[in-house]
């Protein structure tokens, strides 16, 4: 079992990293491999809607997105943690996720997702909702905790004082470990849910 932990902060050792490291300790204890990938410090541009990925199976911009895509395909789950900027995930995380989810055609059904928003004071639940949209359009179950996953702090390291936020991070990781293990068993016993093919209706009439 393997999960990816995406750090969307430009800071390698900021509060987002701290929230993820709290989760990583739990994954280790639960026997789930966890690889942390720092994307927030990379120059990741947005999607240009060229649709070249539809033919090539990868993004036209050969950067971190194409590097992470095969790791995501092999993983059983993904945690995306972002600092909150103006009550949303930061721009780098959004560019990364738009292109990662749009450019990859492998089946994401039943890979477990978890979103984490890290902020000083406000906007975490809006950022959390936005991040979850990538999972819930992809047939991915979402691991949750006691609260809408947020950790609070301003200057790097301040989130260490948010005992409740960090307790929630540990709970999300425990629930996620349980889900990835349970889904692996369920896939073997029952197979994945059957998908329906159908035309797209674009609300033009």
Ligand X SMILES: Cc1cc2nc3c(=O)[nH]c(=O)nc-3n(C[C@H](O)[C@H](O)[C@H](O)COP(=O)(O)O)c2cc1C
Residues that bind ligand X (CB under 6 A): 9, 11, 14-16, 83-87, 118-123, 153-154, 156
How many angstroms separate the CA atoms of 169 and 116, rounded? 8
The residue (of 104 and 168) whose beta carbon lies closer to ligand X is 168
E-assigned strand segments in the chain:
2-7, 33-38, 77-85, 88-89, 112-119, 150-152
Residues 6+ away with beta carbon under 8 Å from 36: 5, 6, 7, 17, 20, 21, 24
Cα–Cα distance for residue pair 165/157, rounded to 1 Å: 13
Is the separation of the CB atoms in 33 and 1 below 8 Å? Answer: yes
Q: Which is nearer to ligand X, 82 or 175 (CB)?
A: 82
Query: Which residue's structure tokens are 């950067």?
Result: 63
How far apart CA 205 and CA 180 sit, in angstroms, is 41
- Rounded least distance, CB 48 to ligand X, Å: 24
User: Considering beta carbons, is residue 86 or 190 the nearer one to ligand X?
Assistant: 86
Q: Which is nearer to ligand X, 108 or 152 (CB)?
A: 152
CB of 121 to ligand X, least distance (A): 4
Q: Is 150 exposed, middle or buried (0-12, 13-18, 19+ CB in 10 A)?
A: buried
Q: How far is the CB of 84 from ligand X (least distance, A)?
A: 4
Residue with the CB atom nearest ligand X in the bound state: 14
Q: Minimal distance in Å, beta carbon 156 to ligand X?
A: 5
Q: Which is nearer to ligand X, 16 or 103 (CB)?
A: 16
Q: How far is the CB of 13 from ligand X (least distance, A)?
A: 8
Q: Tell me how far, at minimum, the Cβ of 96 lies from ligand X, in Å.
A: 15
Task: Give whichever of 85 and 102 is closer to ligand X, judged by the CB atom.
Answer: 85
Q: Which helix (H) or strand (E) holds 186?
A: helix 163-190
């Amino acid at each position: 079992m393997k999960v990816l932990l995406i750090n969307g902060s430009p800071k390698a050792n900021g509060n987002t990293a701290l929230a993820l490291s709290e989760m990583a300790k739990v994954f280790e204890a639960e026997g789930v491999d966890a690889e942390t990938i720092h994307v927030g410090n990379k120059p990741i541009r947005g999607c240009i809607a060229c649709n070249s990925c539809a033919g090539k199976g990868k993004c036209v911009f050969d950067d971190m997105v194409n590097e992470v895509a095969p790791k995501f395909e092999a993983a059983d789950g993904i945690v995306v943690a972002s600092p909150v900027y103006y009550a949303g995930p930061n721009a780098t995380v959004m560019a990364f996720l738009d292109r990662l989810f749009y450019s990859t055609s492998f089946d994401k059904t039943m890979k477990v997702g978890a979103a984490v928003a890290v902020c000083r004071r406000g906007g975490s639940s809006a950022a959390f909702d936005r991040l979850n949209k990538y999972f819930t359009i992809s047939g991915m179950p979402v691991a949750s905790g006691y609260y809408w996953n947020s950790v609070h702090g301003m200057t790097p390291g301040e989130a260490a004082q948010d005992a409740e936020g960090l307790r929630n991070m540990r709970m999300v990781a425990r629930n996620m470990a349980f889900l990835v293990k349970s889904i692996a068993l369920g896939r073997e016993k029952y197979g994945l849910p059957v998908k329906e093919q159908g035309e797209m209706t674009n609300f033009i009439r």
